[in-house]
Structure 1
């Protein structure tokens, strides 16, 4: 009789272990990775949820006339809904690292090596997120992304199951609370786990290690651009010094710009020239250009036409 009871208890323990694993507790304790197919489904669901919440807008916060007292530039004491009006992810030089990604206030953006790439989770919670602020969005948030490919931007749900965090290249992104001004990179290499992020979701490096490269050749059959935002500064800079941006709708006739523009972001194909009147050197572009010097336009683009 006693042997029978022992056998029954052993069976019950085995069933309980299976149940715990099915609930996720067993896998969490053992560190077992989520199956690839299940992980992909989680990411797809979370990405879809994030995309439905935000409005993706070409150009910058300035060129889209975002309220300068809200979003990334809201006062520290502003209400959460004010801070979530808009978020900007833009290419820049951050403390000598280029290309790097900064927010609409010029603050450097980081990734955390403990977060699995495309894993759908952030491992920076509790005390960690007090020092490393997750970049989040909410329903109705406007997201500006000059210089970053749309497909490199994604979303995950944070541990609370409600807050949506932005990712670049599958990596959740953060600000560091010890960075005080644009260009600060005090979070770089902290604990050998935190790094400035580039537009592809990798480590930002010094320009000597990541030189400006020629844009990819135009894709066959690319649709004509419906809008272009030109920036007087390279790296889509329209807020430092005297730099500014201008948005245009290219047509089938030449359009002139007021001087030379060093970078541009667009949503299709356009042709630019080095001189007014669509004269001089020309180039057809279908992707964002962070430095027109790479196209052989040292004085910037000065005219354009729809391609």
Structure 2
């Protein structure tokens, strides 16, 4: 019994020691990180996120995630703050920041930052605006979320929203 309690005590010290180490690594301002590549603190085990650019029919070169899915910004967001919650998130999942700085291809790192959502999770942003995927975009190269409700927009390689209206689309309320 004495040996078992010694082992338990040693494990507890190791766990506390490791917790102390992770707590000391980096700072978190609780707001947005502007002007520098994102270095988010997310739950352990989430790989670094990839953002790249790809040509999407009718829109030109847009920002996509690591799977080639178009990313969007929401007109009701403000720089540094997401206003998509509840039912909105079911159709427009946030682009989670992951661990470490995102891998960027074709995107200026100074445009990419993170925002802290109201639930404490980190979300990637471009020019301070949070990024989202559209649940109905099921494969790379689609941009069916473009101009939905007149408030959702794909993002160009320059970090600016693309306001090109898709032809013949029936865009509903956006969420």
TM-score, with structure 2 as normaliser: 0.67
Does the residue aligned with 1:125 lie in a helix, a strand or coil?
coil
The 2-side partners of 1:52 and 1:182 are apart by 26
The 2-side partners of 1:101 and 1:109 are apart by 6
Q: 2:107 aligns with which of 145, 148, 154?
A: 148
Matching residue of 2:71: 109
The 2-side partners of 1:196 and 1:182 are apart by 13
Q: Can you give the 5+ residue segments of structure 2 that lack an aligned partner in the other structure?
A: 1-28, 165-175
Matching residue of 2:95: 135
Against the structure 1 CA distance between its residues 109 and 44, is the aligned structure 2 distance closer, same or farther, given a 3 Å change threshold?
same
Q: Can you give the 5+ residue segments of structure 1 that lack an aligned partner in the other structure?
A: 1-42, 55-79, 207-307
Task: Provide Cα deviations, 1:16-46, integer angstroms capped at 9, x if missing partner.
Answer: xxxxxxxxxxxxxxxxxxxxxxxxxxx8953
Task: Provide Cα deviations, 1:201-248, integer angstroms capped at 9, x if missing partner.
Answer: 322377xxxxxxxxxxxxxxxxxxxxxxxxxxxxxxxxxxxxxxxxxx
The 2-side partners of 1:90 and 1:51 are apart by 15
Please tell me the root mean square deviation across aligned C-alpha atoms, in Å.
2.6
The 2-side partners of 1:93 and 1:148 are apart by 14
The 1-side partners of 2:69 and 2:124 are apart by 16
Larger strand proportion, structure 1 or 2? 1
Matching residue of 2:52: 90
> Is 1:46 matched with 2:35?
no
Q: Is the 8 A contact 2:81 2:117 kept in 1?
A: yes
Matching residue of 2:140: 182
Task: Provide Cα deviations, 1:249-268, integer angstroms capped at 9, x if missing partner.
Answer: xxxxxxxxxxxxxxxxxxxx
Q: Is the 8 A contact 1:98 1:205 kept in 2?
A: no
Against the structure 1 CA distance between its residues 178 and 81, is the aligned structure 2 distance closer, same or farther, given a 3 Å change threshold?
farther
Q: Is the 8 A contact 2:32 2:115 kept in 1?
A: yes
Residues paired across the two proteins, number: 134
> Is 1:192 matched with 2:169?
no
Where has structure 1 moved over 4 Å in runs of 4 or more? none
Q: Is the 8 A contact 2:74 2:152 kept in 1?
A: yes
The 2-side partners of 1:46 and 1:205 are apart by 25
Greater relative contact order structure (CA < 8 Å, 6+ sep): 2
The 1-side partners of 2:38 and 2:52 are apart by 18
Does the residue aligned with 1:156 lie in a helix, a strand or coil?
strand
Matching residue of 1:170: 128
- Point out the structure with max Rg over C-alpha: 1
Task: Provide Cα deviations, 1:163-189, integer angstroms capped at 9, x if missing partner.
Answer: 011111121110000001111111011
The 2-side partners of 1:198 and 1:53 are apart by 23
